[in-house]
Amino acid sequence: DIQMTQSPSSLSASVGDRVIITCQASQDISKFLNWYQQKPGKAPKLLIYDASNLETGVPSRFSGSGSGTYFTFIISSLQPEDIATYYCQQYGNLRTFGGGTKVEIK
Amino acid sequence: QVQLQESGPGLVKPSETLSLICSVSGVPITSHYWSWIRQPPGKGLEWIGLVYYNGHTDYNPSLKSRVTMSVDTSKNQFSLKLTSVTAADTAVYYCARDTVTTGGGFDPWGQGTLVAVSS
């Protein structure tokens, strides 16, 4: 099984800050990594697929990079509406989610 | 516009079988893979498994012995059965289109349905 280690588990940042979340796979998954945003009481929303491709309609302040076993997700300028929990998800072998990162406003 | 809607009992007794249906609209169910994902209250997401209309399935190894998924093409629905449930199976259950095999992710998702396991 492929394990996904996401960090940090939570963070607090100010509006306008750059936020970085990392996700590490237990084995090489090439570029097969997606990122989701989940707001309280809602289903997750796909933001980035194939490690770095922005889903249609998603603001450009969101970005992703990486390949192999190490991936990063960046919010370039944190906005109040970005308060949510973010999850990575691999599909190199079956599917596995990371543990999530809860993003709060300082 | 593709839409998914979960349905099924909100309460299941321990040791019994949890059964859910996901109704798909806006696209033929034969055109994609479909997944079930769950989220225990206050916790993270867990992929349960996927199904294709031809009967192909892949399951999370940790749940494989208790899970069965199938597709009903006549109703444009797919289903989940989870046997021998315990309190640990209490969660919001989501169905989602699984586009990961064609370069995307889980999109869209249903709104989710809370299933509690309790006597």
Task: State pLDDT tens for residues B66-106.
Answer: 999 999 999 999 999 999 999 999 999 999 999 977 777 99
**Cα A93 off chain centre by:** 18
Instruction: Provide the pLDDT for residue B100.
Output: 78
Contact B112 A43 (CB under 8 A): yes
Q: Which has more confidence, B100 or B27? A: B27
User: How far is B89 from B112, CA to CA, in rounded Å?
Assistant: 15
Q: How far does B73 lie from chain A, in Å, by closest CA? A: 24
Structure-token pair, residue A27: 């084995």
Bridge partners of B74, per DSSP, are none
Q: How far does A14 lie from chain B, in Å, by closest CA? A: 24
**Cβ neighbours of B107 in A, within 8 Å:** 45-46, 55
- B45: nearest CB among A45, A53, A87: A87
Instruction: Provide the pLDDT for residue B104.
Output: 76
Instruction: Provide the pLDDT for residue B15.
Output: 97
**Is the Cα dihedral B76, B51, A96, B103 positive or negative?**
negative
Model pLDDT for residues B7-18, shown as the tens digit of each residue: 999 999 999 999
**Residue B93: partners with Cβ closer than 8 Å, 6 or more residues away:** B6, B8, B20, B36, B37, B38, B48, B80, B112, B113, B114, B115
Q: Which residue of A has its CA nearest to B93?
A: A43
Model pLDDT for residues A37-90, shown as the tens digit of each residue: 999 999 999 999 999 999 999 999 999 999 999 999 999 999 999 999 999 999
Contact A99 B44 (CB under 8 A): yes
- A91: nearest CB among B44, B100, B112: B100
Instruction: State mean pLDDT over B50-57.
Output: 96
Q: What is the mean pLDDT of chain B?
A: 96
Name the A residues in 42-81 with CB < 8 Å from any B CB. 43-46, 49-50, 53, 55
In the predicted model, is pLDDT for residue A11 greater than 80? yes
Interface test with B, best of A95, A96, A101 (most B CBs within 10 A): A95
Q: What is the mean pLDDT of chain A?
A: 97
